[in-house]
Chain A
Amino acid sequence: MSAHPTEIKLHQQSRLLEIAFDDDACYQLPYEFLRVSSPSAEVRGHGVGQETLQVGKKNVDILEVLPVGNYAMKIVYDDGHDSGLYTWDYLYNLGKHQAELWQDYLEKLEAAGGSREHGSEPEVKAGGCGSGSGGGCGHH
């Protein structure tokens, strides 16, 4: 069996989900990164080339995290998206390859001329969302 999470912390101010695994790996994943990487069919489509690029999710909030059986969790976001089932393996992979995946997203976003900012909403707080510097736990 692969790594199993032991604790999940939602840092609501800095919008970071901190996840610790039983092999001592620990990752801090920004809500925006999780949202745009949602494994839901709404985001991924039903095959290669059917993905829908997610834009304007910089300030997305997580409302709730719900258990799905023994193997995954469902994340409910404040933009109404709640159909993504994040398996432990998937979260582990997001953490492990966070930097590349985030860079990849930014490139796709730029190529498509999209923005991380929410369309009409005025920006309130910036700086909260990390840009993919994973690593150390013990965030206070």
Chain B
Amino acid sequence: MSFSEADVQGALKNLIDPNTRKDFASGKVLKNVKIDGNNVSLDIVLGYPAKSVWDEIRAMIEAHLKAALPGSSVSVNVTSKVVQHTVQHGAKLVDGVRNIIAVASGKGGVGKSTTAVNIALALAAEGARVGMLDADIYGPSQPTMLGISGQPATDGEHFMTPMSNYGLQAMSIGFLIASDDTPMIWRGPMVTQALDQLLRQTRWDDLDYLIVDLPPGTGDIQLSLAQQVPLTGAVIVTTPQDIALMDARKGLKMFEKVGVKIVGIVENMSTHICSKCGHEEHIFGSGGGEKMCADYDTEFLGSLPLDIRIREQTDSGKPTVVSDPDGNIAKSYKQIARRIAVKVAEMAQNRTSVFPKVVVQNT
């Protein structure tokens, strides 16, 4: 018996990708269907990085097709191609960067930088090309967390080559100052200018995602980032504590006001796991992140425990995703990262974030 391409499409319509929650026949995922007698071969091109689950997806599709098309021999090739954020031609997207994702919170100390670096490393582990921009000018943490020291090389007169470690390209004001205890005693306009230089005068090399680790608050840095670049979206980090949630709400509202889409909310320090007995306790309260998501109709991307290992590993310059890549915590980060990537792929294709076409007419 022989099959047609329509049979393959029809069969894949009934199979849902657990990451995107959409079927494999829609959204330009299915490519290159070839049928030769009983042999069916096809490519699946995912819009998000997912190296760790390629095999799983391939097995799932092959099994599904074999069942739907009895007697067939199926060969599936799974790859990922990260979708570029759609912007109007002429809008100032940063060179060498396909998507920019801001990681923000209202309050300080909720674990933004730790979450940002682990998400960046998780995306890289899934096969994406990722950069990390430390936008915290007053308190840069990324050099320490990524275990990078030294100064970036200059590339020509105006550009810097990003530093790199663990496959991540990184730029921070911390690389440019003399020593760890040199404070940046700057007023707003200087900070804004420094951020713009770190962003635009770095020679980012073909990035799928640039993760921006923002400082807490809703001031100069957050606003100028939202105004100067078309951000694909923002991820809000909070703890379940009321006092942190209150500020997280303000952070979220700020992004809404400047037309930046919210990718979702990550709840950090959800539970405390005792390093002696393993007992898990909701020391900052429970369900806060979920409730905030329900209130603002955004997605709860996941939660992370207050675990001494995350702190120790990140402080020593080897964040959890690289120091314990197969552990449960790294798995949580990877799951969150995949979810972010899927949502970003959807947002990237959404044309409402595109600057309208401007036509000048002699009329």
Q: Which residues of A contact B (CB under 8 A)?
A: 1, 4-14, 19-20, 22, 65, 67-73, 85, 88, 139-140
Contact = CB atoms under 8 A, between A and B. Distances in A.
A16 to B, nearest CB: 8
A6 B359 CA distance: 11
A13 B352 contact: no
A69 B363 CA distance: 29
Ranked nearest first, the 7 interchain pairs of A and B with the lowest CB-CB distance are: A71-B259, A70-B259, A5-B356, A67-B355, A69-B227, A11-B363, A10-B360
Interface string B221-237: 00000111111000000
B356 A10 contact: no
Given A7-B356, A8-B356, A8-B357, A70 B231 contact: yes
A117 B228 CA distance: 35
A34 to B, nearest CB: 14
| Interface size class of chain B, counting residues whose CB lies under 8 Å from the partner chain | 20 to 34
B361 A67 contact: no
Interface of B is mostly: loop
Contacts of B227: 68-69, 72, 85
Contacts, number: 71
Contacts of A11: 361, 363
21 contacts: A6-B356, A9-B359, A9-B361, A10-B358, A12-B360, A12-B361, A12-B363, A13-B362, A14-B363, A20-B356, A65-B358, A67-B91, A69-B227, A69-B229, A69-B231, A69-B260, A70-B226, A70-B231, A71-B257, A71-B258, A71-B259
B353 interface: yes
B279 interface: no
Interface string B319-363: 000000000000000000000000000000000110111111111
Given A8-B356, A12-B360, A13-B363, A88 B91 contact: no
Interface in B222-279: 226-231, 257-260
Contacts of A12: 360-363
A86 to B, nearest CB: 12
Nearest to B228: A69
A12 B260 CA distance: 32
